[in-house]
Amino acid sequence: MKKIFLVFAIITLVSCTNNKEIKQVAEISCGQCQFELDNQNGCDLAIRINNKAYFVEGFNIDDFGDAHDKTTGFCEVIRKGKIVGKVEDNKFIASSIKLLD
């Protein structure tokens, strides 16, 4: 009986920690131009949470306007937004991004 309980507890713990949804305000910008990420080519949307940057899946850098606009483009400035999603394989899988500015 102890073994069954232990196996159940481990499975529950692993499944809960792997699917943690993140809901918070984060910095959003171009991963290459503003966050110095270099493991992808070209300009790609990224977020920075807890001083760590992640490329975003689920949204494109141009979904929020021209990425190279001098005042609002992600390649030019870092913006803030409410994000919802989870970190998986060192990427942020976004289900929602709403800019605050």
Task: Say yes or no to pLDDT of 84 above 50.
Answer: yes
Task: Say yes or no to pLDDT of 6 above 50.
Answer: no
Determine the average pLDDT of the residues in 77-83. Answer: 97
* Structure confidence at residue 79 as a pLDDT band (50, 70, 90): very high
Q: Strand 52-57 to strand 91-99: parallel, antiparallel, or no bridges (unpaired)?
A: parallel
What is the pTM (predicted TM-score) of this model? 0.79
The residues spanned by each domain of the chain are 21-99
Neighbours of 2 (CB within 10 A): 6
Report pLDDT digits (tens) over 8-64.
Answer: 545 555 555 456 999 999 999 999 999 999 988 889 999 999 999 999 999 999 999
* Secondary structure element (H or E) that encloses residue 50, with its range: none
Q: Which residues pair with 27 in a beta bridge?
A: 48, 80
Q: Quote the DSSP letter at residue 57.
A: E
Please state the φ and ψ torsions of residue 72, each to the nearest 5 degrees: -130, -10
> Which class is domain 21-99?
mainly beta
